[in-house]
């Protein structure tokens, strides 16, 4: 049974939360009195469906069920977690919490608030211990950070439960040590925003020039190393102490106006809005969102390949989900083709025609064979010890077209085997339809001497048992065919 989250408030942030939960397999109930809420969330969800799977290297879980409700009580029914994302009005939030705790006593409530402390949110609540801050960054469905901030009223178990739910949907929960207005991220951003407004108001730079300074320079460094690690490197071989000695005195120079605020008036608003619209107004908001998402996917994929920063969070989330998928695979000899892989056609798998590209059919076969090798004891530990099965021959047939989002199953039938080789027939299935078959001959090799040798007795024993179980199966249609051979 799918887990359920309730989303109260379906704006940009609430819609992002809904997408994050849905695409990670949770059912989601939404309450928002805005008559446009369903349309807005549908547009956010469409962007998320195009972006979030592109960060994954394992199949996404089946998407959860999205429902919209006319009352808070209906939305929260059966939910184990609530994400509140209503307007930043404390009295409104208190009213929402009262209704939530009346409708679903004991439910855990996380708030997307950008500035209120948990203790502010908890005032007058029936169960203050179940209300906590879980502050995200936009777009919620891509950026992993969730600032988890509690108060003395929150027992450790509630903080731990919130942290685990965030991890379950692929986020990075950062627990704030002490209550503080605006938490960590927004305090930092407020300082940068304030200084940017002064430079704009004083005519020193335009909105575009300020953005260029960030995205062409230090913003790229911050995205992978943050502030302190960046400055530690700036100190050279002597490290942070040298940096502090060199640049520390600058803290007393009158560079910034962080303790002063420009008057917030119509003139300032018009100045900012006018330049900002001129800077990127040729793009619609949804188009800008898609451009942003595509760029973020590229950055995050690069970090993921290097297991660094936010990319490490993505890789760990993949590993947890991969373990769950592997638990569904066959684990021993059966007189039927063994199910060895569950896959999904991801954005990076398709070609210019919108179909799964040829190399990915071979990748799907490799995933199936690799899981089979692990099953018989010839996984990576076996390879590290100096032995492996090498592919000697491959014959692939393309029988159908797999498209973006299709869920695929890889099965294997052993056609013949001895101590030094096995011949396999892999089917790539989309439901009941076979979209490709791959026939392979694999040889067992001693990698140190580069020669074919008998497999280890325990490996051959497991392979032999499966080969014997498959010996009575009919020869698959297409097995042994030559390339271009006419069908009979």
pLDDT of 488 reads 62
pLDDT of 324 reads 83
- Report the distance separating Cα 28 and Cα 5, nearest Å: 5
pLDDT of 225 reads 87
Take residue 78 and report the two structure tokens written for it: 């059966």
The backbone torsions φ and ψ at residue 212, rounded to the nearest 5 degrees and listed phi first, read -65, -40
The backbone torsions φ and ψ at residue 426, rounded to the nearest 5 degrees and listed phi first, read -100, 130
Instruction: Give the position of tokens 């090498």.
Output: 390
pLDDT of 105 reads 96
Binding site, by residue number, is 9-14
Instruction: State which residues of the chain have pLDDT below 70.
Output: 488
Q: Is the pTM of this model over 0.85?
A: no
CB 477 within 8 A of CB 487: no
pLDDT of 280 reads 85
- Report the distance separating Cα 180 and Cα 196, nearest Å: 23
The full set of domains in the chain, from first to last, is: 4-183 (3.40.50.720), 186-282 (1.10.1040.10), 330-470 (3.10.129.10)
pLDDT of 331 reads 87
Annotate 135-165 with DSSP letters as a single string.
EE-SSTTT--EEEEE--TTS-HHHHHHHHHH
Model pLDDT for residues 298-354, shown as the tens digit of each residue: 999 999 999 999 999 999 999 998 888 778 888 889 999 999 999 999 888 988 888
pLDDT of 133 reads 98
Residue spans of beta strands (DSSP E) within 431-472: 433-446, 451-452
Binding site for NAD(+), by residue number, is 9-14
CB 108 within 8 A of CB 82: yes
Q: Tell me the pairing of strands 131-136 and 108-111.
A: parallel
């Amino acid at each position: 049974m799918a887990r359920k989250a309730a989303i109260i408030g379906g704006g940009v942030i609430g819609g992002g939360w809904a997408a994050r939960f849905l695409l990670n397999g949770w059912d989601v109930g939404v309450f928002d009195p805005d008559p446009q809420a369903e349309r807005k969330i549908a547009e956010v969800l469409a962007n998320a469906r195009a972006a979030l799977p592109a960060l994954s290297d394992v199949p996404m879980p089946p998407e959860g069920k999205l429902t919209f409700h006319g009352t808070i009580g209906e939305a929260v029914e059966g939910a184990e977690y609530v994400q509140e994302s209503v307007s930043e009005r404390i009295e409104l939030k208190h009213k929402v919490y009262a209704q939530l705790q009346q409708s679903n006593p004991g439910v855990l409530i996380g708030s997307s608030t950008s500035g209120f402390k948990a203790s502010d949110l908890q005032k007058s609540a029936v169960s203050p211990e179940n209300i906590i801050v879980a502050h995200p960054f936009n777009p919620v469905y891509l950026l992993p950070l969730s600032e988890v901030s509690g108060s003395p009223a929150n027992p450790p178990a509630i903080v731990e439960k919130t942290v685990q739910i965030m991890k379950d949907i692929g986020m990075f929960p950062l627990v704030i040590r002490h209550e503080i207005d605006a938490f960590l991220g927004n305090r930092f951003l407020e300082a940068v925003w304030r200084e940017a407004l002064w430079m704009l108001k004083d005519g020193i730079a335009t909105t575009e020039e300020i953005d260029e300074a960030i995205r062409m320079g230090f913003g790229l460094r911050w995205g992978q190393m943050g502030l302190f690690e960046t400055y530690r490197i700036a100190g050279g071989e002597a490290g942070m102490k040298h940096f502090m000695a060199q640049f520390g005195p600058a803290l007393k120079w009158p560079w910034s106006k962080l303790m002063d605020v420009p008057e917030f008036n119509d003139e300032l608003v018009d100045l900012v809005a006018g330049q900002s619209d001129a800077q990127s107004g040729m793009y619609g908001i949804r188009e800008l969102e898609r451009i942003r998402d595509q760029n973020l996917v590229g950055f995050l994929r690069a970090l993921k390949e290097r297991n660094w920063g936010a990319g490490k969070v993505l890789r760990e989330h993949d590993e947890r989900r991969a373990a769950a998928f592997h638990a569904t695979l066959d684990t021993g000899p059966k007189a039927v083709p063994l199910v060895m892989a569950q896959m999904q056609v991801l954005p990076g798998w398709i070609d210019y025609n919108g179909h799964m590209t040829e190399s990915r059919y071979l990748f799907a076969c490799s995933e199936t064979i690799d899981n089979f090798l692990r099953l018989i004891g010839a996984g990576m530990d076996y390879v590290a010890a100096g032995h492996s099965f090498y592919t000697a021959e491959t014959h692939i047939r393309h029988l159908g077209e797999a498209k973006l989002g299709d869920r695929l199953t890889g099965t294997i039938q052993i056609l013949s085997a001895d101590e030094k080789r096995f011949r396999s027939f892999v089917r790539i299935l989309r439901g009941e339809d076979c979209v490709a078959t791959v026939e392979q001959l694999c040889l067992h090799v001693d990698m140190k001497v580069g020669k074919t040798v008998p497999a280890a007795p325990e490996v051959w024993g497991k392979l032999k048992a499966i080969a014997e179980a498959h010996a009575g199966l009919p020869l698959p249609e297409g097995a042994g065919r030559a390339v271009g051979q006419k069908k009979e």
